[in-house]
Amino acid sequence: MKIIAGNWKMNGTRTGLETMVRDLSSVETENTVILCVPFTMLGVKSDCVALGAQDVSRHTHGAYTGEVSAQMVADTGAKYVIVGHSERRQYHHETNSIVRDKASNALANGLIPIICVGETMDEKQAGKTMAVIESGVRESVPSDVNTDIIIAYEPRWAIGAGLTPTAAEIADAHALIAKTLADMGLAGTPVLYGASVKGNNAAEIMSIPNVDGVLVGGASLKSDDFIPIITSVK
Ligand code: 13P
């Protein structure tokens, strides 16, 4: 059983999500299917797929115009929230410490945070991939976790670029994340791979050791693209 999560980013409409949910309702799978959608689409009825947000405030409540708290996300019935996505880290300067606060708020409100880590092209070229991944996990995961979390490894240079690391690179990254989580007392935490996952590479990627599922961007927007990923593995 794998976790197949979609990240719609700033795309879609409520009607589009309703259509997607209808399309997914006829898919037979034992995998866990999650769609992380814009805040405005949370609350759409979706029995066959769990919904999540794509970000949450690092603050709990109060005078933060435009922010949405973890409590508000949970109030919609959502079960998950992505924190520390590379686009948040890049465009909104989110650091590991901000991401950790967001993950803590999510956990305090019963949400499962999907905590993203991954290296930029500059970091990769400087040979820092492993160091960035390890510090990302150690510094972004709250210290007092005693419930479910999910980690997503997303090599930032590969997102939306049609590029993927080699299978050996993915294996090395996931082995390091699994070892780091075990060191932190979090053995068994699911680790997803994300960046340019499509129907034609999903099965191969999910056959790599320590890859417990995928976090899919562009190919999660249309059911014709997303369903083959969901059904590519048992
Ligand atoms: P793409 O699948 O479009 O590369 O996006 C990956 C991603 O950022 C998922 O969070």
Q: Rounded to the nearest whole angstrom, what is the distance from the C-alpha of residue 220 to the centroid of ligand 1?
A: 9
Query: Which of the listed residues 82, 119, 197, 221 should we mutate to test ligand 1's pocket, taking the one with most ligand atoms within 8 A of CB?
Result: 197
Enter the tokens of residue 38.
Answer: 């814009």
CB of 84 within 6 A of ligand 1: the answer is no
CB of 106 within 6 A of ligand 1: the answer is no
Q: Are 170 and 208 in contact (CB under 8 A)?
A: yes
CB of 54 within 6 A of ligand 1: the answer is no
What structural domains and CATH numbers belong to the chain?
3-230 (3.20.20.70)
Q: What is the structure's pLDDT at 120?
A: 94
Catalytic residues: 85, 154
Q: What is the structure's pLDDT at 27?
A: 96
The 10s digit of each residue's pLDDT in 157-210 is 998 888 889 999 999 999 999 999 999 999 999 999 999 999 999 999 999 999
Ligand 1 atom closest to residue 85's alpha carbon, by position in its atom list: 10
- Per-residue pLDDT in tens (0 to 9) along the chain, 234 residues: 999 999 999 999 999 999 999 999 999 999 999 999 999 999 999 989 999 999 999 999 999 999 999 999 999 999 999 999 999 999 999 999 999 999 999 999 999 999 999 999 999 999 999 999 999 999 999 998 877 999 999 999 998 888 889 999 999 999 999 999 999 999 999 999 999 999 999 999 999 999 999 999 999 999 999 999 999 998
Percent of the chain with pLDDT over 70: 100
Q: Rounded to the nearest whole angstrom, what is the distance from the C-alpha of residue 41 to the centroid of ligand 1?
A: 19
Kindly give, in sequence order, each residue whose CB lies less than 8 Å from that of residue 176, ignoring residues fewer than 6 positions away: 130, 133, 134
Q: How far is CA 21 from CA 105, 204, 233, in A?
A: 28, 26, 20
Dump the DSSP string for 182-198.
Answer: HHTT-TT--EEEESS--
